Copies of this chain bind each other. A is one copy, B any other.
């Protein structure tokens, strides 16, 4: 490597200006070529991936990599065609750039428009998942952003091969190849995170540790979420059968996802009956229950105690913490103190309590009588998911293509000067006639 990350960033910035004004048809043409390229080069791609897989297997044997991670980084013909399908789905989405968010006639021939535009250069730091590389490349291009992507070292050969395919597609359509830059080498991450002048947004895709690392090592805005410590609060008036079904769904359906439930809070008033029932049903599905003192008193000594510091834990497996609370106030306080502002659900028949919970819980998703697992861009109907954000600025909750866009104000006039509108004897005044506001 002779070229520096800084040089790459300068070229990416230059490419971003061209991407910002690309015609929708051209963008979609590249996306189709990218998808076709993956299919046409499948043999070569799978060959490169096999080499990554072999090295990864050794790391699994040495206990340095989980078998789940190995599974995620392993490609096959089916996964490859899934990626192509995914890229074509992005091509089919409406062009999100230059959408008019507001149009207002400030005065004769003086028109203000607020329109969506790309961020510029997006840096993505992703774990070793080829599907994430494909998806982010497609989303960045569709949204008119240049992408600098650093994928996990475990898939470096696969990433090289995939991005070569994508750059081929860019070349064919005469788009600067720096629309997508392959950032190589672990040490490059720090350098990339320091390029505040060129990089407009950082998107980490991976576990909580990766997101925390990225967030604490850059002053560039970060779009990502850290933890998914989700709660279900079973209020006294809840339909108890519904509550158990929702808890099971939220826990066992996909326990390693960030929208799985980690803690159940339940009202004292119903604890006597509900706790033993719940624990029995959970155990039938292999869920290990941990609990507060009251829970342990009701469900027997086999339940391990949850220490006070443990409540903020994302188990990511078939483990569930259960706590008996005195009522909605205690539940709200617990969620505020130990939650991660991701997704929290209340089960209740009382609409007033539900309203209060939905209003006061400070999380990206606040649910009533619904499984926490619904907190997902595809389930919300967003078509594409850039990630889930537990931050509150810009994007919160599941983030679709819109998360990669900002906006600008475009003002067109005919020589309008502010001095005509200022002061007691100003000849003109602004009328702000709003035509569009979305």
Contacts and interface: CB of A to CB of B under 8 A. Distances in A.
Contacts of A219: 215-216
B380 A409 contact: yes
Contact of A415 (B215, B245, B406, B419): B245
A119 interface: yes
B249 A418 contact: yes
Given A20-B360, A381-B434, A396 B418 contact: no
A219 B332 CA distance: 26
Interface in A407-421: 407-419, 421
B412 A367 contact: yes
Nearest to A422: B253
A392 B112 contact: no
Nearest to A221: B393
A414 to B, nearest CB: 6
Contacts of A60: none
Interface in A240-268: 242, 245-246, 248-249, 253
A365 B117 CA distance: 12
Contacts of A413: 367-370, 374
A375 B106 CA distance: 12
A374 B215 contact: no
A92 B14 CA distance: 46
Contact of A106 (B248, B371, B379): B379
Contact of A366 (B239, B363, B408, B416): B408
Contacts of A131: none
A102 to B, nearest CB: 9
Contacts of A422: 253
A358 interface: yes
Contacts of A104: 380-381
B418 A253 contact: yes
B332 A17 contact: yes
A362 interface: yes
Given A249-B419, A394-B393, A408-B365, A370 B332 contact: no
Given A380-B112, A381-B432, A413-B368, A363 B408 contact: yes
A258 B201 CA distance: 25
A359 interface: yes
A273 B301 CA distance: 93
A396 B392 contact: no
A30 to B, nearest CB: 19
A364 interface: yes
A328 to B, nearest CB: 12
Interface in A379-405: 379-381, 391-394, 396-398
A293 interface: no
A175 interface: no
Interface string A76-120: 000000000000000000000010000010100010100001011
A415 B416 CA distance: 58
Which of A219, A354, A392 gathers most chain B CB within 10 Å? A392
A362 B438 contact: no
A200 interface: yes
Contact of A412 (B112, B356, B368, B434): B368
A231 interface: no
A396 B391 contact: no
Given A358-B412, A396-B406, 19 more contacts: A17-B362, A20-B362, A98-B359, A112-B380, A117-B359, A221-B221, A221-B391, A246-B417, A364-B408, A364-B409, A366-B411, A367-B411, A374-B418, A375-B411, A379-B421, A380-B409, A393-B393, A393-B394, A393-B406
